[in-house]
Chain A
Amino acid sequence: MSVPGAWYLVLAACLFGIGATGLFVRRNILVMYMCIELMLNAVNLTFVTFSRMLNDIGGEDTVFFVLVVAAAEVVVGLGIIVAIYRRRSGATADDISSLKG
C-alpha cells in the first residue's frame, strides 16, 4: 500500500496552521489573501486524502468546486483590494478600520 492517509492529514493540518498564523500575523492585505489560499489548499489536500481513504469520488468533486469558488473569491477580493488602494495608498489591514465598531 502507499503512504498512509494520516501522513497527508497531518501535513494538511500543518499547512492550515501555517496559513492561519500568516493570516493573523501579516498586515499586508495581499499576503493575507495568499494565506487564505494556503488554508484552502490544505483543505483540498484533506478532501483528496479522505476521498482515497473512503474510496469515494465525492471528495474529489468537492475539490473541483472548491477550486472554482477559490478562483471567484480571488477575483472579487482582488477587485476590492484594487478599489481600496485607489482611494488610499499603502493601506494595510490596520488602516482599513472604518467599519470598526
Chain B
Amino acid sequence: MTNLATTQLGIGSAWAVYAVGALFVVGGAFGVVLQRNPVHCALSLVVTIFGIALLFINQGANFLAAVQIIVYGGAIVILFLFVIMLLGVDRKEPRVQQKLRSLTPVAIVVSLVALVELLVLSRVHYWANGATSTTESLSGPGSDVQKLGQTIFTGYLLPFEMTSALLVIAVVAAVVLVRRSTQVQGTSPRKAAPAARPGPRLPEGTPGKPAGLEQAPQPQSTGAKAAEPAAESEQPTGAAR
C-alpha cells in the first residue's frame, strides 16, 4: 500500500511518471530563473511544485503530494502573486540596471561547482547507507497518512507543537511588519502637520518614478494628504498599474 502508484502502474509507467515529473520540475525551475516578469516566475514555480508533487506520488508519499499542492501551490504562490500585485512590480525588469553585473559569471560558476560536486557524489553507489527504520517502517500495513500521523503525534509531538508556536509567531511578525506604525513613519509629518490622520497612507514613491525622487516628495505628499484626506482610501497608484 505504500508504493501505491508504482505497484498499480507497473515499472514502465513509473518511469513515464518520473520523466514527466522531471520535465515539469526542470522546465519550471528554468522558467523561474530565466523569465523577467515576476508573475511569470511565480507561474513557473507552480509548474515546478506540480512536478515535485508528481514525483512524491511516484514514490508513495500521497499525503505529502496533496499537502505540497495545497500549501505551496495554493498558499505560498498565491501569496507571492498577491505581493507582486500589491507592490506593482508585475512588469519586466530591465536587464541593464544591475550594479553587480560582473559577479554574475562568478555566481554561475559557484553554482555549477556545487552541482558537479553533487553529481560526482551520485557516482558513489551507496547513497543511503544509514540505519534503516529508526522511526517507523514505511512498508508496514496501513496508509502513509496513518503512519505519518502516528509518528507526528507520538515521537515528533514536541516539534509539532513547536511548529504551531512558530506559525503564531510568523502571523504576529507579519502583522507587525506590514502594519503602518504612526510613531515610526509619522515623526516628520507630526511636526509639519499635526492634524494628519494616522490612517493608511499612500506609499511614498510610486514604483514608476525613478529612484532619485524618493526623498524629495515626502513633505509634499504629506501636505497633499492633509489637503485631500479622501484620497487616502483610494487605491495606491502603484498597485493599479
* Interfacial residues, chain A to chain B (CB-CB below 8 A): 1-3, 5-11, 13-22, 24-28, 30-31, 33-35, 37-38, 41, 44-45, 48-58, 60-61, 63-65, 67-76, 78-83, 85-90, 92, 94-95
Contact = CB atoms under 8 A, between A and B. Distances in A.
Interface stretch (B75-83, B191-199, B224-232): B75-83
14 contacts: A11-B55, A18-B30, A21-B33, A21-B112, A30-B84, A54-B128, A54-B132, A56-B132, A56-B137, A58-B136, A70-B72, A76-B174, A78-B79, A83-B178
A90 B54 CA distance: 36
Interface of B, secondary structure class, is: helix
B122 A9 contact: yes
A52 B139 CA distance: 9
Contacts of B240: none
Interface string B124-168: 010110111111111100001001100110001001100100110
Interface string B96-115: 01111001100110111011
Contacts of A2: 3, 6, 11, 14, 58-59
B124 to A, nearest CB: 10
A16 B55 CA distance: 15
B177 A76 contact: yes
Nearest to B211: A90
Given A60-B61, A81-B83, A10 B119 contact: yes
Given A2-B58, A54-B133, A57-B151, A16 B118 contact: yes
A50 B126 CA distance: 12
Contact of B76 (A37, A44, A79): A37
Contact of A56 (B61, B135, B238): B135
Best-surrounded residue of B55, B86, B131, B132 (most CB of chain A within 10 A): B55
Given A17-B114, A68-B167, 16 more contacts: A1-B11, A2-B59, A13-B115, A17-B118, A19-B33, A21-B33, A21-B112, A24-B108, A37-B45, A52-B59, A52-B138, A57-B151, A58-B136, A58-B151, A76-B177, A89-B206
A61 B174 contact: no
A54 B130 contact: yes
Contacts of B100: 27, 94
